[in-house]
Structure 1
């Protein structure tokens, strides 16, 4: 029997929600702390494009995760990962760290995340629910991803992982991210999932 796209999306969401409920390690929302240092690359990005770092979002609940929004998140994540080719900042710009939109079709991890953030904002998601996030990979390397805050939890859009995962189902250690109320401010993340991370490696 053929299933419509809508039914397939509902089934996929139901299966994913069931998996989150039984397999996710830890809380579905990150525990954030106080204000911390802004990544050097993001500071430079803000100096070049000040409007990107002046967004204010009133304090409120996360965006509702509807079937339509979930499909949009998946589509944008897949599209950006497919059309942007991975290159280091040194290869592209000749410097160690340079955050920019991948308008030339190539980019580093933070450039993928910036583009996904831009496209989701254009789709109507408030800036306070789209947070640039710095993590540590299992090998110790730094990495940048996009956190999407929803009423069902926080999800990670990542150029190294094709699936959109709940943050607590990833193998990363979370260090800091943008404030939900001010895109130019960063806050610490109290991960507290060392045992959980080890269990899913």
Structure 2
């Protein structure tokens, strides 16, 4: 487990796959990587984003296909700093309140809902940390209470990690309390795939 400080707060990036913590071994029911399944329908909000911002949804060429991110201490610190910065500076507010519609995905101003947090983090991690967009994937999950939610998946050589506006810690995907439904394709951000091993919610994670 790697511990570091960012913006005055102590944060944890739990690299269970890389460092083999006992806690992770006790609760792990899914491997460190999501297994990608068949094509899935795009979320309605993402369809609108692609119409307004077509560059967001262009396929990635074979030459530009990403290898998983290799984490080091400097990159971990940068990722955590951006995650905390967005979570602390962006006010959570529904699309209905902001735009008068149920789903409107966009790069937020001072406020936004869960997918807007994801878009802001994705953009900053790409621009400031130089992480390829193919390793920064919008992901749709279901919370323990059945509500839908959006998080950002960071795809690394050590596993898939989740950046979440509801949790300031960056956790391995298999230590979050979510059922994982679908995420963007790594090679075509305009397409989505189901997550084949994403339905089992970890009791240990839910109880934390």
TM range (shorter): 0.7 to 0.9
Alignment deviations for residues 39-66 of structure 1 (CA, whole Å, 9 cap, x no partner): 0000100100000111516455311111
**40, 43, 48: which is aligned to 2:47?**
43
CA contact (8 A) 1:28 1:152 kept: yes
Q: With the length of structure 2 as denominator, give the TM-score of the two structures.
A: 0.84
> 2:61 and 2:130 mapped to 1: Cα distance?
13
> 2:95 and 2:39 mapped to 1: Cα distance?
27
> 1:109 and 1:18 mapped to 2: Cα distance?
30
Q: Provide closer, same or farther for how the CA distance between residues 192 and 156 of structure 1 changes in structure 2, counting only shifts above 3 A.
A: closer
Q: With the length of structure 1 as denominator, give the TM-score of the two structures.
A: 0.87
The answer as to 2:145 corresponding to 1:142 is no
Q: Which residue of 1 aligns with 2:122?
A: 117
Q: Which residue of 1 aligns with 2:9?
A: none
Unaligned runs of 5+ in 2: 6-11
Query: How many residues were matched structurally?
Result: 190
The answer as to 2:74 corresponding to 1:68 is yes
Q: Which residue of 2 aligns with 1:22?
A: 25
CA-based RMSD of the aligned residues comes to 2.1
Deviates more, 1:90-99 or 1:63-72: 63-72
**184, 187, 194: which is aligned to 2:193?**
187
Higher strand share: 2
**Residues 25-104 of structure 1 correspond to what in structure 2 (within 5 A)?**
25=28, 26-56=30-60, 58=62, 59=65, 61-102=67-108, 104=109
